[in-house]
Amino acid sequence: MPTKKQRRRAQKGRRHEYETVWVDAEGNELEEPPEDALESKPRDRDGAKPKAKATPRRGGRPVRVPPAPSWQRSARRSLILGACIFAIVYLLGSKSGGHSITSAFGFAAFYTVLFIPLGYMLDRFTHTRWQRRAEQESAKRPARKR
């Protein structure tokens, strides 16, 4: 037995019945569809069906170029990390009653200062690695004739 939702869908389908009407170039209605409408699937020049497109090797998206390393970007990231560490240490320490705001701030400041040079070194590593890989790929590719 159909559910109420299924019955409503069926009634809606019956209310909105429609027919496909074929009209020629002069505006006259046709009994049968024109021959060009019957062949709905596109074909190549040879008459063969088109082949599926090959998927790109790297997932289809262009590879994102890592920006050059900068101390300002590293400092901004470390401030975000410091704020997160402050919140975590303060919330977890306040439950047990062992930490105060000053000790949470001290932990956060220590990790913030520590993360600035580490973030810069990580950015520098990714940027130089990307540059080396780009140079190797450009050396592998033969020059294209135009």
User: When comparing pLDDT for 21 and 133, which is higher?
Assistant: 133
HEC string of the chain?
CCCHHHHHHHHHHHHCCCCCCEECCCCCEECCCCHHHHCCCCCCCCCCCCCCCCCCCCCCCCCCCCCCCCHHHHHHHHHHHHHHHHHHHHHHHHHHCCCCHHHHHHHHHHHHHHHHHHHHHHHHHHHHHHHHHHHHHHHHCCCCCC
Q: What pLDDT, on a 0 to 100 scale, did the predictor assign at position 54?
A: 47
pLDDT tens for each residue of 30-76: 777 777 665 555 555 555 555 555 444 556 677 778 889 999 999 99
Q: What pLDDT, on a 0 to 100 scale, did the predictor assign at position 46?
A: 58
**Residue 127 — very low, low, confident or very high, per pLDDT cuts 50/70/90?**
very high
